[in-house]
Structure 1
């Protein structure tokens, strides 16, 4: 077992006092056989009342209400303790119909996975297959679907330069391919678009990645260190939802701590809400994130 503490602050500054709508926070860990939340506390400025909601994707959402407060600053500080059970990400057995690519889901699987499958090309993803045919050695057939997905994962890692972007919004897959750069969100969206065009159910995952510091205090494998992370899960019958991290070119393991999943990443931005003023207001966001292992 590994126990980690996550200290996460998101701060917004405005050039004049504003009022606020209720906000939704997707920060509470999604518990499973690996992840167990031990403690969660939240402080806000201005002070708020809170209540818990479970959304249609079974994410645990914390809603905050600021009432009539007016302020030039909005701040959320979460302190989370999580226990992680060490797990081998390759310890699974696929169903016979899901071992190779191409594959087809059984009818009951297709019905259940409808939100994560798509027919045709989604808007902003017209160049995805062209890129795929050049980036993957054998794009039409593979005897091992995990190796096939791992090759796609590695191709995005090798071809797209990581660029941190704290501002709202996600690039389309075509924009990411044109710029050859993007945030972890952008790379996840690119892989999801490709998987769906290949007939594979894929979903967006937002959360935290604990990158244990190596000797000297450096972080060895996480290109997105210091910010929340995003990756992809693909549904493989017999194994369930398996995670792939194109930002770092690896399969996910017990260091990945999900907080939200969705068929559309726009629905699970970590902090969601609005501010109000009669005139245009400029704003600036700051993020502080520290994840450390507890004794």
Structure 2
């Protein structure tokens, strides 16, 4: 059970002092049975006039900051320590009726899962549907875990990861046709594929631990990371990271879950000034095992889940 330390530092820079609107911050990991929060701090410079904490509709911990000071930089510096329990060879105890696909959800779960099953993006020629169904054999039945693992690992093997600093998410059809995208693009494509098969999926924003900066093991580190969860009867919400072919929570630190990526943006806010005042933003995210003496150091990485 490694003890992981996260430092997430975001800096906005401006040509001249500007004033700031409300900022919404989602840096604090979700406390759970497989990741136990030991310590967390958040330092903001300039100091906000107020800082309040709340839980959103999904139970994510959100900080809301307001400001009265003008400044030419705005810095958010989060430091987190947590006990992380990885599932190195995850085997999910599914309910008997869900052991093989296709399966259905119970009547008691459907009211809560329905919005997570609904498709969110247009697919007029059913291209995402066809991609998702390509993982189902002609006989029509397949072990559910095998189906989802195959989809996850196919993205890792057949798509090209690119770090994108642009806001928002690519349309799943763009990602599918180009076979390239960022971690958030791959997460949304697989979410839509899973939903096309009638399963509930939701978006996850968090951090990726990459031991000794090993790009052969993982890509997408150095900034916030994104993946998805699928609801499986008997197992609950299970993690799938198509960017890295990860099934289960290994090396993944959950911060926020949401039905749509726009509901899990790690940091959002506004400033009052000219568009030319904006000199950009940088983020520095380090995730290290406190027992690892060769912890990586990253600097000046464009912000956004990549």
Q: TM-score, normalised by structure 1?
A: 0.91
**For each residue in 1:201-250, what CA deviation from the matched residue of structure 2 results, as whole angstroms up to 9, or x when unmatched?**
0000000121222xxx6344211121111111000000011111000012
Structure 1 residues 89-104: aligned runs within 5 Å: 90-104=90-104
Gaps of 5+ in 2: 292-306
Whether 1:228 aligns to 2:224 is yes
Instruction: Determine which of 116, 119, 122 is the counterpart of 2:120.
Output: 122
Matched position secondary structure for 1:266: helix
Instruction: Determine which of 250, 254, 261 is the counterpart of 1:258.
Output: 254
1:261/1:139 CA distance change after superposition, 3 Å: farther
Q: Counterpart in 2 of 1:14?
A: 14
Whether 1:276 aligns to 2:277 is no
1:73/1:182 CA distance change after superposition, 3 Å: same
1:142/1:12 CA distance change after superposition, 3 Å: farther
Structure 1 residues 183-222: aligned runs within 5 Å: 183-213=182-212, 218-222=214-218
Q: Counterpart in 1 of 2:59?
A: 58
Q: Matches of 1:222 and 1:153 in 2, distance apart?
A: 14
Q: Matches of 1:131 and 1:207 in 2, distance apart?
A: 27
Whether 1:144 aligns to 2:143 is yes
Q: Counterpart in 2 of 1:80?
A: 80
- Cα offset, 1:53, TM superposition: 0.6
Q: Counterpart in 1 of 2:301?
A: none
- Cα offset, 1:254, TM superposition: 4.1
Contact 2:191 2:201 in 1 (8 A): yes
Contact 1:142 1:148 in 2 (8 A): no
Contact 2:101 2:144 in 1 (8 A): yes
Q: Counterpart in 1 of 2:239?
A: 243
Q: TM-score, normalised by structure 2?
A: 0.88
Whether 1:161 aligns to 2:163 is no
Q: Matches of 1:278 and 1:161 in 2, distance apart?
A: 37
- Superposed CA RMSD in Å reads 1.9
Task: Indicate the larger mover: 143-152 or 12-21.
Answer: 12-21
Q: Counterpart in 1 of 2:178?
A: 179
Q: Counterpart in 2 of 1:108?
A: 108
Contact 1:89 1:253 in 2 (8 A): no
Q: Counterpart in 1 of 2:304?
A: none
Matched position secondary structure for 2:153: helix
Matched position secondary structure for 2:6: strand
**For each residue in 1:174-220, what CA deviation from the matched residue of structure 2 results, as whole angstroms up to 9, or x when unmatched?**
1212332111001000011111111000000000121222xxx6344
Aligned residues: 288
Gaps of 5+ in 1: none
Q: Counterpart in 2 of 1:289?
A: 285
Contact 2:133 2:197 in 1 (8 A): no
Matched position secondary structure for 1:288: strand
Task: Indicate the larger mover: 104-113 or 139-148.
Answer: 139-148
